Structure 1
Amino acid sequence: MTHSPVHSAGNSPIKTALQAGKTYAWCACGRSMKQPFCDGSHQGTGIDPVIFTAEVEGDVWLCLCKKANTAPTCDGSHKK
């Protein structure tokens, strides 16, 4: 399996409503057409989505630049 570079899906985070207790797959490769979530486009890249379960109900800012050290949430890395 070859490792492909990560693609930025945007230059700012996206406000996303999450349901408490629901499991999500955040796109880590930047190729998904369903940003910020995975649609399987990472297949063959060696980059896997970040699987997480929302702990609380409500809006969060999810990373689109794919550089956040706090993925899947934004940490401001897109400003650097």
Structure 2
Amino acid sequence: MSNPIIADNKPKKVTLEKDKKYMFCACGRSNNQPFCDGSHAGTGFSPKSFVAKEDGHAFLCQCKHTDDAPYCDGTHSQFDKDQVGTEGPG
């Protein structure tokens, strides 16, 4: 698997707690999107750990192609519904 699975073509709004560590799913296989559930085992992908800088809402990437992981940067707009659940382009 060279490219991550596109888990969704829109970001997920989540509530984060300041100074709490989170594990962001980078492979797109997690059933707990956008967070890691260990489904990356054997894929060559690793989750991205991050610490929330403040309490509140954040929009986390689910297309897995953002340049600002774990945060959405709008890259998902290039993917349509038919591409969800598939490996995206390189």
**Band the TM-score falls in, shorter-chain normalisation:** over 0.9
How far is 1:4 from its partner? 4.4
Structure 2 match to 1:31: 29
Please tell me the root mean square deviation across aligned C-alpha atoms, in Å.
0.9
Quote the Cα distance in structure 2 between the aligned partners of 1:39 and 1:78. 22
Structure 1 match to 2:58: 60
Quote the Cα distance in structure 2 between the aligned partners of 1:20 and 1:27. 19
User: Unaligned stretches of 5+ in structure 1?
Assistant: none
Q: Which amino acid aligns with 2:3?
A: P
Structure 2 match to 1:51: 49
Question: Which of the two has greater helix per residue?
Answer: 2
CA-to-partner distance for each residue in 1:33-75, whole Å, 9 max, x for gaps?
A: 0000000000111100110000100000000000100010000
Q: Which amino acid aligns with 1:28?
A: A
Quote the Cα distance in structure 1 between the aligned partners of 2:47 and 2:11. 17
Runs of 4+ in structure 1 over 6 Å off: none
User: Unaligned stretches of 5+ in structure 2?
Assistant: 79-90
How far is 1:5 from its partner? 3.0
Count of aligned pairs between the two proteins: 78
Q: Which amino acid aligns with 1:63?
A: C
Quote the Cα distance in structure 2 between the aligned partners of 1:50 and 1:36. 11
